[in-house]
Structure 1
Amino acid sequence: MSAENKTPLIICYGEILWDNLPGGRMAGGAPMNVAYHLNRVGAESKLISRTGEDKAGAELVCFCSKIGLPTELIQFDELHATGEVIGKVTDDHEMAYDILTNVAWDYIAYKPNHSVLAGTADAFVFGSLAARNQVSRETLLQILDSAAYKVFDVNLRPPHYTKEILQLLLSKTDLLKLNLNELALLTDWFYKAGATEADSINYLQQNFGIDEIILTRGSQGVSYYNAERAYHGKAYQVTVADTVGAGDSFLAAFLYKKLKGEAITGALDYALAMGAFIAGQTGACPAYTTADLDKFIRQHLRDERSDKQ
């Protein structure tokens, strides 16, 4: 079956949790967000995670079911509570986030079917946060040994990472997604401070054997690098409601199009549209259809043509 006719299967691994913010409580976790948006654009997505055997965990699993995510790979933990993030406004009016530790998703247990799934899936998506605890990290490393196409969305959340763990995860990566600040940190740690972007990207590719790198630049768009060349995409202009989940939706859209055989330029543009579309709405997982996204893209193109006239 050709890539165009095949429904991609993507496995997402890591944290699911409740974000407790001044404006209210929302289900969160980058792996869940990516899985949701993959599901919305037409991929088959599965989520490997763990919640507590508590009310908060039951509510999270119920939320996943309601938004159309399969829940059979979400484990229940009798000893550890469901993950939570506590968001508070500081004295200087900035947001500070406390990602609670020693919670259920720190203890994702390895199951043999995880490796079987990862080996047959078109992509396996993971981040750095789920590697902060030894139990979930060891499970992740076992699965990565079998995964055919390993996608590392760095997603650094201080202080939940170390140089050694990042070095290990980078060495397992086929596609790396990171932002400018994350590139600067990795460059300082593994290469040399002040290196040019091109040199930094080349170093990561050569030193860690990474085939593809996506560098996100916020309102300045995105760059994609492989062994042959670089591609650059221009950001869509949108009135931002909030940016929560925009990067996760971008990754989901890019993977879907790439795995369906779309050219890199087309996959990047679709992903940029998705990121802007989600940033223009409230929450990481708003309800929408691909028809809604297509309508957004058409409107953007009309606005661009009108501006040029």
Structure 2
Amino acid sequence: MNQKTILSFGEILWDLLPEGAVIGGAPCNFAFRMHNAGHRSIMVSSLGSDTYGTKAQKELIRLGLPLEGLQFVSQFPTGTVEVSLDADRNPNYYIVPGVAYDQIELNPYLEKIVRQADVIYFGTLAQRSTRSRDTLHWLLHHSPPCAVKVYDVNLRKNCYNKQTIQESLLQADILKLSDEETDEVANFFGLDNKDLIKMGRHLVSQWDLRCCLITLGSKGALAFDEDGETIYQPGFKVELKEPVGAGDACTAGFIDHYLKEDLLKKCCQVGCGLGALVATQSGATELVSMETLERFLNTCSEFQIDARFKHLIPS
């Protein structure tokens, strides 16, 4: 395969689930899935000099991710998130403030590796601090012109503002957001998210995006590209166990096949399939082999369809 260099910028943290602590953070989850797909995937983050920081290093080694992009600070703890699940097992988060991933600094390694980047993945959470945000913006501005900049909105309460989202959209080539996040984005920019198809097309046009992916939870995803194509992929029906990390897996599957220059429909199908399989597991970084994914895509025949987009499914 044509291996790409992926820089995944932002939070490494521990999801404190009812069953125990599990390593996570959308950039970390994305980095792992892209590594699992065969790419050179580098996590750019900062850890505390504490027990969780030491455990995170060991976990990244276990996952096969390199450590060169990591920084360490003694004054701040490793990031943690308190995760609770509602009756439908949807996650609710409390993001602990003032942690290590708020302190990501530019260094000689990052100055060098960014010039090799084929993809830079980033979100909103790590931009809540000036230091990490400034580092990210430097990397985005000094990456190769052909590098694909993937902005996963990933909004978390009290950790974002309109300016951060706007500046991120200006840098992005590919935008990913969830159905729920369209409410806030629509409010910020005067859009109407009652019609997600219209909104998705508008986002691609307004922000000069290559494509936009809107995930719909268990009911699949919508995708829009710069050529005007609109795709709806219904959700794969699975027995849900733990949805944390499923959206990140969906993004990774989509981007992996986008880099292979596959059709938008195939990108969406693979993304939704990988997300569905991750949702059947406990934790965001359990292995899903490419063989398992391919077999699942070829054999799964039950889907969950969002009635709003049924007309987009080929008859």
Given the alignment, which residue of 130, 133, 138 partners 2:134?
A: 138
8 Å CA contact 1:15, 1:29 repeated in 2: yes
Deviation of 1:195 (Å): 5.9
Give per-residue Cα distances to partners, 1:228-265, cap 9 Å, x unaligned.
Answer: 22122121111101111111111111111111222221
Equivalent residue runs for 1:79-90 within 5 Å: 79-87=75-83
Q: Counterpart in 1 of 2:107?
A: 111
Deviation of 1:117 (Å): 2.6
- CA separation of 1:116 and 1:207: change in aligned 2, threshold 3 A: farther
2-side partners of 1:194 and 1:47: how far apart? 33
Higher mean Cα deviation, 152-161 or 278-287?
Answer: 278-287
Deviation of 1:207 (Å): 2.9
Q: Counterpart in 1 of 2:16?
A: 20
8 Å CA contact 1:191, 1:200 repeated in 2: no
Q: Counterpart in 2 of 1:289?
A: 289
Give per-residue Cα distances to partners, 1:247-298, cap 9 Å, x unaligned.
Answer: 1111111111111222221121111111111111111011332222223233
SS across alignment from 2:115: helix
2-side partners of 1:116 and 1:166: how far apart? 27
2-side partners of 1:180 and 1:96: how far apart? 16
Q: Counterpart in 1 of 2:255?
A: 255
Aligned length: 297
SS across alignment from 1:85: strand
Deviation of 1:25 (Å): 1.0
Q: Counterpart in 1 of 2:34?
A: 38
Q: Counterpart in 2 of 1:172?
A: 171
Provide structure 2 residue ranges, at least 5 long, that are not aligned to the other structure: 304-315
RMSD: 2.1
1-side partners of 2:84 and 2:200: how far apart? 35
Q: Counterpart in 1 of 2:69?
A: 73
1-side partners of 2:270 and 2:240: how far apart? 18
8 Å CA contact 2:10, 2:101 repeated in 1: yes
8 Å CA contact 2:90, 2:243 repeated in 1: no
SS across alignment from 1:242: coil
Deviation of 1:43 (Å): 1.7
Matched, 1:59 2:55: yes
Aligned AA for 2:42? Answer: K
Q: Counterpart in 2 of 1:181?
A: 180
8 Å CA contact 2:102, 2:126 repeated in 1: yes
The TM-score, its normalising length taken from structure 2, stands at 0.88
2-side partners of 1:249 and 1:195: how far apart? 26
The TM-score, its normalising length taken from structure 1, stands at 0.89
Q: Counterpart in 2 of 1:153?
A: 152
- CA separation of 1:168 and 1:47: change in aligned 2, threshold 3 A: same
2-side partners of 1:205 and 1:237: how far apart? 29
Give per-residue Cα distances to partners, 1:63-114, cap 9 Å, x unaligned.
Answer: 1001111111111112111111123579xx9965321111110000112442
Aligned AA for 1:252? Answer: A
- CA separation of 1:88 and 1:253: change in aligned 2, threshold 3 A: closer
SS across alignment from 2:23: strand
Higher mean Cα deviation, 29-38 or 229-238?
Answer: 229-238
> Identity over the aligned pairs, expressed in percent?
31
